Every structure is written in structure tokens, then in C-alpha cells.
Structure 1
Amino acid sequence: MSHDYDVCVVGSGAGGSPVALTLARAGYSVLVLERGPWWHTDDFYKDELACCLRDVYKPDRRDEPHIIELEDDDGGWLSQSTVNSRWNFWNGNCVGGASNFMSGFFHRLKPVDFHLLSEFGPIEGANMADWPISYEDLEPYYTRVETEVGVSGRVVSHPHAEPRSTPDFPYPPLQEHPVASLLDKAGRKLGYHPFPTSRAILSRPADGRNSCAYNGGYCGSTGCSTAAKGSARVALLDKAVKTGRCEVRPHALVKRIISDARGKITGVEYFDQAGKLKQVDARIYVVACQAIETAKLLLRSTGPKFPRGLANGSGLVGKNLLFAGGGAGSGRLLYSKFGREEARKLAQTGFFINRALQDFYVIDDPSFGPRQKGGTIDFVHVHPSPVLRAQRQLESNGRLNWGKPLKRILEEQFRDGVPLKIEAFCDWLPVDDCFVTLDGALKDKWGMPVARVRTGYHVRNLQVGWYLAAKGAQMLKAIGAEEVISFASGAPPTNLLAGTCRFGHDPDTSVLDPHCRANELDNLYVTDGSFMPTGGSVPYTWTIYANAFRVADHLVERLGGSRRENI
């Protein structure tokens, strides 16, 4: 039977683009359907209003809201639409997805992350599960990402480093802000092991991309105007398209994946930019929309054999949604504490701090409790957007700041020192009360049910988050920072999503098999962060990239191997 394409990929971000590139290079025809527009490098510039205060790169929440369920003080659940709230669970919706707007600091998972249940035992109230693969299975693909996406850094020996098959990163580290050396000295005095944070940002030109321009540190939430940042678009999809065997269709919103009475997928139905419904079919389908949207698509893709949603025989599609647990903190390093030349260097903008701590990736501290999983502490600049920073000073201690007091506060914030930030990452434990389902009443602009997202969390997230944030605060105080605070919150970070289609060995307790193929469908795969049964204590992007390359190699083998020599 002939098909329009060998592979149809729904979603063009970190989970979809490695599949598209690998299959196109191997000689197979690939179609990528992307719901958003196709912006190019020249379309991105440092617009602080667009990146920080407006939803320029995301769907209009009036057209496509989510319903968020938040726990109230009595243990019940309050529902609110994202139309009338500060919540927005849409990430970057354009070719390349949210990878266009990532900060780009990359950490690998560690071997312990693949078997938390076996290592630490069950946790009451958490749906823990070991991964069906090991760190050794994924390590070659972490290495591939370093080259394909472009990761800059410097490997240093420290007691908590994960094994590597290569001695160093393919690109040298980015230029560092003077705060980095202060953290190194302070960390060593405390007996810790701060190390350089690797970044998916080129430190020198390569593959037709320019190197970092160090223009203000706007990486997070902003597209890169030099193509240095390793977005799925510039690093992977552009190469896939150049093979001549990959077609990308922007403004293609997939309505459903169609299946027949035999349980076979017969096509994908999508709306084009004009709102016209179209259909395409392929030998293999790969879904990579991000955890909430992938679950939503599968749940609404009902069929004769899938009344509860595609691939949902286990009832687990949408369950065990993961965000990122952890804590945060901040402080200010006053220029007045330093000599004139030192203060001048500290005042420069653009260079990265690029320092992290993983001394507490596993917490073995009797005062805190039994040996347990901890996390990563990153030290970064506060986002440089003046409007965003100023807006945060409008209120303090529940009171509005205005007039001369507000002017003095702004003066302190912008003229007197370097504002620093702690970002601490720990596992967001999978729980029954964190999931995605379809709302029974509200529909979006196209008449499709919207996602209902419950955001429950495990108290362990908070406990570990407070612990890590306090350690980060200790470091800030050690370099002389003032006004240092640290805290943890149960509120989910909306830019870090995983879970909802966990993989495993047992079809009764998983949605996908170890190759990320749907247990009930021979030709459906999921390659965004949805596959993860636990999230680890680092941002997800590097692992999503690596796993998608792993699945892509499996697909090439399944389709008969590389055809390149025959083209």
C-alpha cells in the first residue's frame, strides 16, 4: 500500500526535529506538521514586550484556553480558565517549538535518574517507576546532541559528574561573567564543587550559524537573532529540509489521528491556515506536541477500538504529568563592596555566569532525613528585561510602591548592584492529582475540547526545593550578596513539561514501550517529554533531544536501514 509519506511528525520542537532529520538523512520521506508559523532567524530580535509581557509566540488564549485546576485551602480543586488568569501552558508555538525560546543551559540526567524506585524505594503518594532503559543506552545520544545541536562548555572533574564517552564538549565555553569566579572561590571554601554549566549556544560559528553575540542575556523567552542558540529549527530542521526529503507545513493544526475498526491508523486530519480540513497518511506517525498537547491530541483521537482515546487502553494517557520541582532565590551584589575596576567588570551585561552545583544531587544528610534524591542548583542573572524587572518592584509586602519610594527602589535595582538568581531543580514526583484530561464543556475556536490540567504536587517537591534553595542562598551570601532570599513553591513552572505518556515494559502500567512506540498501535510513536516516567533534577530539553535521536535510529532500522547509498 502506498502512502503520502514514510513518516509524519506532529510537532517540530525538540522531540520531533531529531526524528525528521535522522529519517530524512537516511533517505525516507518526512512530513512535519506544525501548528504555528515558520519564523526565521531574521524575524527574532530583543523585544522585551514580546518576550516577557505578551503572548506573541503563543496561541491566543481566547481562542485556545486551558482549564487549570488548583488546590484550595480545604483540599478541594478550584477551576479557572487561562483566559482570565496569569497561567499560560502554551510554550513556543512555531517551527522549532519552545526550543526557540529556551535559556539553553543543558544538563544530562545521571545514572541514578533511571532507577529511582530501585535506588530509593517507594514514596507514599507518588507513582514511582524505573525507566525501561539505562543511562548507558542514552549516553551516545547525549553525545550526538552536543555535536548536532551545538553545545558549548568545559568538562571538569568533580565527584558528582556523570560518565561520558568523550573528554569534552565540541565547542569551548561561552565567555563568563566575573561572578563565575567568585562562585568558584566561595564554593571551594565551603567544600562544594561548582562547575561550568554547558549551554546549547555556539561559542564559535559552525554549520552556517553565527556564534553568540552576548547581547544582554535575553536568551530565555526570546528567539536568537544570530542562530547561535541550538533551537530545533536552526540546528536540525533546516538541515532536514535541505536534504529534499523533509517537508514542513506550518499553520497545520492537527485535529485528530484517525483509526479504523481494526485499530489501524489511516491518517491525520488537520486544519490549514485558511481553516480548511485536510488529511495526510504515512507509514509511521510520530507525535511530539509537548506533554499537555500530546495527551490532548491522543485523548480526542477516539476510534472504534479506542473509545477512551488513542493508545489509551491502560487509561494512563494524560496521567502522571510532570513539571519541574525545586526552589529559587535571589540576591544583589553591591558595586560599593568592590574597587572601581572590579565594579566596572561586574556591571557589564551579556556574559553568562554559567555555574551550577550538584553536590546535593543525592542528599545524604541525616539532619534532613534518609538518603534521598536531591537536585541541581544553577546560578544565573535575573532576566535583563527592564520592563519586567521594574514591574516586579511595584509591590512589596502586600503594599503598592509609587512616587519617590518607587524611584529609590528602581534606582537600587538598576544602578547599585548585580541582581543574581538561584534556580534549583528537583524531581516533580508523579502523583494521581497531576494530570491532563479533556474538558467536558468548553471548546476552542475550532470546536475541539480544551485541556483540563490538574496541578497537584507531592510535598517532597517542596521539602527538597527548600533544601536546595537554601544551599544556593548560602553560596550567594558567601560571595557577599545582600538581600538574599530563598524559597520553594508548589506552583508548576509552565515552561517545563513531561510525563502523560510514560514508557515502560508492562502495557498495563505504561502507554509506550521502551522504543516509545504506543503499546496498542504498531506505527505510532511519542517522542516529546511525554515518555518520561520521572523527570530527573535538570531541565528536560537535552534528554528530549537525546531520546528522540534514539527513537529515530530505531525507526530507521525498522524501515529497513539507511537508503542513502541508493539515492
Structure 2
Amino acid sequence: MIVVGRDLPGGFECSVDVCVVGSGSGGAVVAKELAEAGLSVCVLEEGGYYAPEDYGRFTFAESARRMYRGAGATMALGLGDSPTIQLVTGRVVGGGSVLTGGVCFRIPDRVLDEWCEAGLTEMSPTKMQPLFEHVEREVNVTETPRDLRSGSTALFVSGADRLAIGISPLRRNVERCSGEGRCTTGCPTGAKQSVDVTYLRKARANGAVVYSDCLVERVLTRGRRAIGVTGRVLGGRRGEPRGAFTVHAKVVVVAAGALHTPLLLRASGLGRRSRALGENLTLHPGFAVGAIAPSRVEGWKGALQSVYSDHLAGDGVLLLGMFADPSLIASRMPGVGKRHLSYVEQVPSAALFAGLLRDKGRGSVRRGLGREPLVTYRMAPSGQVRICEGVLHSRRDGARGRCRGGDAPPAWRSADT
């Protein structure tokens, strides 16, 4: 059952065995497992609930306003010479899983080995393998077929071939994907197996109740035990408070993500003695390089992401073929007036190449303005060097894929032109 908070006339009160705060990849899994075990479960999500047919009618800007936290403008402020990093986080039933490209990588063995050395012996590669397999079955993780490669990805592959860089198909959590290329605004066909259509659906089938538009403001405690939560129901498009709610629970699970879990715990008076609360935030910074091809690419036709290269994996960098919503690409073009329009007219010929970095920097999360966090982050010096290397490789890939500079925006020109 889903209760759409914005449709409620006011607040509510209920009692359950387990209250889960957050409906993303963490909260949804907990809700499903506990509901299947026979416990009564309530899931509270600050964001709204939307069906696949809703995603299809939203523009990119409307999707960002409705489903992205901060309309997609949440940032980690760089400390020292670190850059500011955009943080893509969801505020919707299903959390960030609704807004990703569906890419599913297993945690590499070398990373698990490091965790074991740090004392997390239950997370060894051998012990994690059956768990990975279980999750992959739940969300249908499969290789992306060649016929779903977009024109942008085809250029990425062509350039990589000329540079003798190995390419592999990405594994994604999808079922009957038709290559709509709208992954980051919610899959309009329901093909992407995000947690709202997998784990949460199974949780609801076993009696769990999911409440959307419900902002949890405090975890209630008695002595050293959590006994429930309180908060406000948010109504209307602007999220104005509509009424208060209280959920009484034997167990409270806070799964509000790396940015909001520390804020909720701190606001509830929990973990104040811990020096780790809100500290040691880690990110995997990403980058994108744009290029203009001599002919139409129409990169929006096909899977948003379908191939990758581990050519730089030893340096902690993964290279990816990708694309983005055309309106987003157009908004990143420089200039005003006719100059800007001349660049926008080249979007059908645009290609994007991207990468992800395993950084060893650290950040922190503090209370910011309103109910949003203030996030700061300091990249490791080695990470800044490696991300520059990744950008250069991506630009060379674009050049070998026969993309050009020429009339392209300066920041989009290939390194070799």
C-alpha cells in the first residue's frame, strides 16, 4: 500500500513493529526483508510518489524540481584546491535508484580486501559473492545488448578501438529496456528495476505501508531505545506543511542516505558523543567531456549508459560512454543570444564521454540553511591528478572517434584538435 501524503487532509498516527526512514536502496531492502519475515513495516519518504506514466510526461526541469534534492543543485563545497562537486541525490519514493542509469557494479575484490584488512571480515569477496548474486536476481542485473548502444556510445567505442582500449558492456538493472534514454528522470516504461518497482513492491505485497511526502524531523527515544518518529506531512508542489504525524515503533531504521542520516540523528540528540557523526564522507567524483561529431549522433536514442572501459582501473578511474537529456546539454552551452543558439543547434551532433574516480579524500556533513545539509569535501591530491588523466583519455577517445572541435564550444573541443 502507498499512502500519498500530499493527498492527505492532515496528519496521522500509527503503530508498527518497524519504522523505516527513507525509501531508497537502503530503506527499501530493509522494508522488503522485514515485511517478508512477518513484521509490520512503515516506510516514510520525504519525496513524492510518481508512477512510470508520470515520468514520461515530465520535462527534465520538472523532473529535477519534483524528484531531485535541491532540484539537482546540491553541492559538496571543495576545500583548498578541490573543486565543487555536484551531488545527485533523490527525493522521491525509490530514492536515488529512480534517477540513475541503472548501472550495477559489484564492489571490486581489491576494495573488499581493503575493508577486511580494516576489520570488516564479514565483507570478504567469498562471503559477499552470494549476496551480490541475490541482489542481482532481485533487480534483474543483465548485460546491455549492442542494439541499445546510442550514437554517442558508438563514437566512444570507435575511439577506444582506435586507441586499443578495451571496452566491456555495462551490467544494468533493467527488464525489457527499449532505450528511451530517460533514465535520470525516471524510466517512463518501468523497464529500469529501481527499488520502487522491485524491493518496495515486494514489501508492499507483504503488508508494508509506504508514506510519501512525509518529512521525519525527530527520532523519539526512551532511555537508550528508539520508540518512534515524528515529523510533518508535506502538501502541494512547494511542500508546505499540511499536518504532523507520529509513528510508534519497536524498531526505527534510519536510511536517509549519507547526507541526511547524520542531520536527523543530530537533531534527535543521538550520537552527539561520537566524533564520527557527519564525518568521513566519501564520494566518487565524476567528469564528462563533450565533443561534436561531423554528422548527427542523436545520442538520446538508446541506453543512457551501455559500455565502459577499465583501462585506467589501476589508477582508480572508470571510463564510460554516456549521454544526457538534450535540454541539460543545451543549458551547459556557453554564450548568449545567437552565439548560444549556434551551439544549441549542434546538440543533435553532440557526444559525451565520462568517467568515475575512486577518490580517497574525505568530507563532512553539517546542518545548512533550512533542512538541507552543508557538505564540504577535500579531494586527495592523487585523485585530482587521476581525474585530469581521465579527462585527457576521454578527449583523446573523442578525437579518435572522429569528433571535432571547430565550431564546438571551447570546453568541448578535443585535446587533439
TM-score interval, smaller chain: 0.7 to 0.9
Q: What are structure 1's unaligned runs of at least 5 residues? A: 76-85, 120-128, 155-171, 205-211, 303-309, 336-342, 364-373, 445-449, 488-567
Q: Report Cα offsets for 1:431-473 as digits up to 9, x if no partner.
A: 3xx201235xx555xxxxx533223322222111111222222
**Partner Cα separation in structure 1 for residue 98 and residue 320 of structure 2:** 21
Q: 1:322 & 1:477 partners in 2: Cα distance?
A: 33
Instruction: Indicate the larger mover: 263-272 or 129-138.
Output: 129-138
Aligned mates of 2:87, 2:149 — CA distance in 1: 32
Q: State the 1:19 CA deviation.
A: 1.3
Say whether 1:260 aligns with 2:222: yes
1:103 aligns to 2:101 (yes or no): yes
Q: Write out per-residue CA displacement over residues 145-187 of structure 1, whole angstroms, 9 at most, x where no aligned residue.
A: 2221122316xxxxxxxxxxxxxxxxx6762235655654653
Equivalent position to 2:208, from 218, 238, 246: 246
Q: Is the 8 A contact 1:469 1:486 kept in 2?
A: no
Q: What residue in structure 2 maps to residue 437 of structure 1?
A: 366
Larger Rg: 1
Q: Distance in 1 between matches of 2:116 and 2:399?
A: 37
Instruction: Write out aligned runs for 1:79-158 (5 A).
Output: 91-116=89-114, 131-132=120-121, 133-153=123-143
Q: TM-score, normalised by structure 1?
A: 0.61
Q: CA deviation at 1:13?
A: 0.8
1:44 equivalent in structure 2:
55
AA aligned to 1:424 is: G
Residue 256 (structure 1) shift: 1.3
CA contact (8 A) 1:106 1:199 kept: yes
Residue matched to 2:43: 32
The structure 1 residue matched to 2:307, chosen from 347, 355, 375, is 355
Change (3 A) 1:175 1:482: same
2:325 to 364, 384, 390: 384
Distance (whole Å) between structure 1 residues aligned to residue 90 and residue 60 of structure 2: 15
| Alignment match, 2:179 | 214
- SS of the residue corresponding to residue 291 of structure 2 reads strand
Distance 1:173 1:24, change over 3 A: farther
Q: Does 1:327 align with 2:287?
A: yes
* Aligned-partner SS, 1:354: strand
Q: 2:27 aligns with which of 16, 37, 50?
A: 16
| TM-fit CA distance, 1:319 | 0.2
2:256 corresponding residue in structure 1: 289
Q: Secondary structure at the match of 2:26?
A: coil
Q: Contact 1:327–1:462 at 8 Å: present in 2 too?
A: no
Task: Specify the SS of the correspondent of 1:9.
Answer: strand
CA gap 1:175/1:59 in 2 versus in 1, 3 angstroms: closer
User: What secondary structure is seen at the aligned counterpart in 2 of 1:321?
Assistant: coil
More divergent stretch after superposition (3-12 vs 28-37): 3-12
Tell me what 2:354 maps to: 423
Question: CA distance change for structure 1 residues 116 and 181 in 2, over 3 Å: closer, same or farther?
Answer: same
Deviates more, 1:347-356 or 1:227-236: 347-356
3-state secondary structure, aligned to 2:42: strand
Task: Name the counterpart of 2:7.
Answer: none
Aligned residue type for 2:210: V
Identity across matched positions, percent: 24
SS for the counterpart of 2:346 is helix
The one-letter code sitting in structure 1 at the alignment partner of 2:165 is Y
Q: What 5-or-longer segments of structure 2 have no aligned partner? A: 1-13, 235-240, 406-411
| Cα shift at 1:322 | 1.9
1:121-200 map, 5 Å? 131-132=120-121, 133-153=123-143, 175-177=148-150, 180=153, 183-184=156-157, 186-200=159-173
Find the counterpart in structure 2 of residue 466 from structure 1.
Answer: 388
> Within 2, Cα distance between the matches of 1:256 and 1:283?
16
TM-score with structure 2 setting the length:
0.81
